[in-house]
């Protein structure tokens, strides 16, 4: 069997699945694994520098062909904690929103909520490095994602969880990323890969102990986040949610 190039994500929310992969000798003997930011993961898959990627679902809109190869995903039913709109004023007073340069999916989610749920018009611009520490002031808010949220969530007066807003809007969970491929993958490898990531998703505590993340939260907070905020099962409700998100995101793009 050929070696497959797999691009995973370096955020805490992905660590259980990465742990599952690295603990499977059968998978790893046929895998070249790298950990990247979500946007780089998507770029690698679209430019054929990776065969499989944990791809932000917004990026799937740009792919002519893809297949979702796993029953695991990065999802949430309600509060996800690490995809937020941070502000020092209530949403009624926000005029400008800085978009996270590393997350098209979260930016699209924000824009869908603004248009369809909150019924508000904002001025948007894409942030530069350290925007989450510099740009949020007065009537300017920002989309902040990933492990950065742990360091800013107590810094600002209002932290609006975008996954929870989606739940209020649709009654559905949200899917942030899925394991996808843009070319045909050996069926046996897919089966082994899927089994490995599923086992990892069910071994959160082992994953935390084996992959210490350099973020400013305790082990207990990491465990609580992974057990209670992240939902790894790519079930039928999440498939319905993904289809709805893609439908609405296409209207935003247009």
Same domain membership, residue 155 and residue 184: no
Choose the final residue of a domain: 121, 140, 170.
170
Give residue 253's pLDDT. Answer: 62
Same domain membership, residue 165 and residue 181: no
Same domain membership, residue 129 and residue 63: no
Tell me the pLDDT tens digit for each residue of 23-75: 999 999 999 999 998 889 999 999 999 999 999 999 999 999 999 999 999 99
Expressed as residue numbers, the domain containing 92 is 83-170
Same domain membership, residue 96 and residue 59: no
Q: Specify the higher pLDDT residue, 213 or 126.
A: 126
Choose the final residue of a domain: 170, 197, 218.
170
Give residue 254's pLDDT. Answer: 46
Q: What would the two tokens of residue 150 be?
A: 């742990």
Choose the final residue of a domain: 147, 170, 193.
170
For the whole model, what pTM was predicted?
0.94
Query: How many separate domains does the chain show?
Result: 2
Task: State how far the Cα of 109 lies from the Cα of 220, in Å rounded to an integer.
Answer: 29
Average pLDDT over residues 152-177: 97
Cβ(211)–Cβ(79) below 8 Å: no
Same domain membership, residue 207 and residue 232: yes
> Which CATH number characterizes residue 128's domain?
3.40.190.10
Cβ(163)–Cβ(106) below 8 Å: no
- Dmax of the chain from CA atoms? 57
Same domain membership, residue 158 and residue 88: yes
Number of C-beta neighbours around residue 91 at 10 A: 16
Same domain membership, residue 101 and residue 67: no
Task: State how far the Cα of 77 lies from the Cα of 166, in Å rounded to an integer.
Answer: 9
Residue 1 pLDDT class (50, 70, 90 cuts): low
Same domain membership, residue 154 and residue 29: no
């Amino acid at each position: 069997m050929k070696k497959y190039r797999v691009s995973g994500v370096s955020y805490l929310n992905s660590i259980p699945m990465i742990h599952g992969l690295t603990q499977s000798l059968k998978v790893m003997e046929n895998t070249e694994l790298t950990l990247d930011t979500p946007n780089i993961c998507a770029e690698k898959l679209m430019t054929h520098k990776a065969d499989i990627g944990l791809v932000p679902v917004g990026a799937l809109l740009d792919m002519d062909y893809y297949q979702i190869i796993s029953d695991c995903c990065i999802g949430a039913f309600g509060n996800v904690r690490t995809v937020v709109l941070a502000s020092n004023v209530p949403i009624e007073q926000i005029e400008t929103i800085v978009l996270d340069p590393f997350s098209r999916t979260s930016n699209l989610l924000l824009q869908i909520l603004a248009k369809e749920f909150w019924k508000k018009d904002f001025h948007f611009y894409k942030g530069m490095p350290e925007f989450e520490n510099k740009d949020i002031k007065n009537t300017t808010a920002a989309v902040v994602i990933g492990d950065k949220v742990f360091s800013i969530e107590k810094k600002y007066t209002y932290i609006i969880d975008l996954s929870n807003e989606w739940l209020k809007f649709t009654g559905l969970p949200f899917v942030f990323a899925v394991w996808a491929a843009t070319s045909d993958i050996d069926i046996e490898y897919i089966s082994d890969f899927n089994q490995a990531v599923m086992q990892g998703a069910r071994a959160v505590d082992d994953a935390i102990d084996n992959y210490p993340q350099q973020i400013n939260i305790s082990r207990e907070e990491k465990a609580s986040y992974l057990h209670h905020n992240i939902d790894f099962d790519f079930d039928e409700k999440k498939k319905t949610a993904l289809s709805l998100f893609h439908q609405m995101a296409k209207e935003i793009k247009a």
